[in-house]
Amino acid sequence: MIFNIPYIAVVALILIGLYAIIFKRNLIKIVIGVTLIESGVNLFLITLGYRTGSVAPIYTSKPQGANIMALPVPQALTLTSIVIGVAVLALMLSLVIFIYRHYGTLDVKKVRRLKE
């Protein structure tokens, strides 16, 4: 059925995020790049926990048929990793706000040149 499309999405997200961090000059784009890598790794962690034809691990929704449940542990790890993403994002954005207040520009090249 949908053979390995989630893994392709994971690799695409991570590479786009990495491209944004390395080659983009605007600070906000770098922050967006980190968030993209974050969501790529989260997607990878979630796709590891799926069994074909499985149901969410909630016992009330388990119909009488002997079908199997998706793995609960990757979902718990992804919950933690999402909240870590929120924390890192909040910190980075507040630093970007302060860099803009000090230097008046968001361009990485200018920020480094203004420093000297």
Partner 1 sequence: MNIPEYTPALVVAIPLLGAFLTPLVGRVNDKLRNIFVILILAINAMLVALLSYDVLVNGIQTYIFGAKDLSYPIVRILFEVDAMSVFMAIIGSIVLLVAVIYSWAFMKENTGLDKYYTLILLLTAGMLGMMLTGDMFNFFVFLEITSISSCALIAFRTDSAESIEAAFKYIVVSAIGALFVLFAIALLYGQYDALNIAALSNAIQYTFLDKIALVLLIAALGMKSGIAPMHMWLPDSYGKAPATISLVLVSATLASLYGALRVIFTLYGNVLSTISNSGIPLNVSIGWLIIALAVVSIIIGVIMALIQSDFKRLIAYGAVAEIGYMFLAIGTGIAALGTQYGETALTGGIFHIMNDAMDVGLLFLVAGAIYYSTKESSLNKMGGFARNMKYTTILFIIGFLAVSGIPPMNGFASKLLIYESTFMLNPILAIIAILGSILLLAIFVKVFYSAFMGPEIPRFKNVKEVPKSMLFAMGIIACIIIFFGLFPELVITNIVEPAKNALMGYSGYVSQIVGGGI
Partner 2 sequence: MSKRNIVAVLFFCLVAVFFIFAALLMHPFGEIEESSMDDYIINNAQQDTGANNGVTSVVFDYRGFDTLGEATILFTAVASVIMIFRRLKND
Partner 3 sequence: MTEMSKIVKTITAITFPFVTIYGLYIIMHGHLTPGGGFQGGAVVASACAMILVAYGSKWVLDRVKEKNLSVFESLGAIGFIGIAFFGLIFGAVFFKNFLVGSNFLFGIIPASGSGLADINTGGVLPLMNLAVGLKVIAGLFAIVLVMAYATTSYKEGKK
Burial of 76: CB neighbours in 10 Å, binned 0-12, 13-18, 19+: exposed
Q: Does 110 bind partner 2 (CB under 8 A)?
A: no
Whether the CA torsion 56, 45, 47, 15 is positive or negative: it is positive
Do 31 and 99 contact (CB within 8 A), yes or no?
no
Q: Using the minimum distance from each CB to partner 2, give the nearer residue, 28 or 76.
A: 76
Q: Using the minimum distance from each CB to partner 3, give the nearer residue, 15 or 79.
A: 79
Please report, as residue ranges, which positions from 43 to 82 form the binding site for partner 2 (by CB under 8 A). Answer: 44, 47-52, 57-60, 69, 71-73, 75-77, 79-80
d(CA 60, CA 76): 19
d(CA 48, CA 44): 6
d(CA 29, CA 26): 5
Please report, as residue ranges, which positions from 74 to 93 form the binding site for partner 3 (by CB under 8 A). Answer: 79, 83, 86, 90, 93
Contacts of 7 (CB under 8 A, 6+ apart): 44, 47
Residue type, 28: I
Q: Using the minimum distance from each CB to partner 1, give the nearer residue, 26 or 81.
A: 81
Residues binding partner 1 (CB under 8 A): 14, 21, 27, 30, 34, 37-38, 41, 44-45, 48, 71, 73-74, 77, 80-81, 84, 87-88, 91-92, 95-96, 98-99, 102-103, 111, 115
Binding site for partner 2 (CB under 8 A): 1-8, 10-11, 14-15, 18-19, 22-23, 44, 47-52, 57-60, 69, 71-73, 75-77, 79-80, 83-84, 86-88, 90-91, 94-95, 98
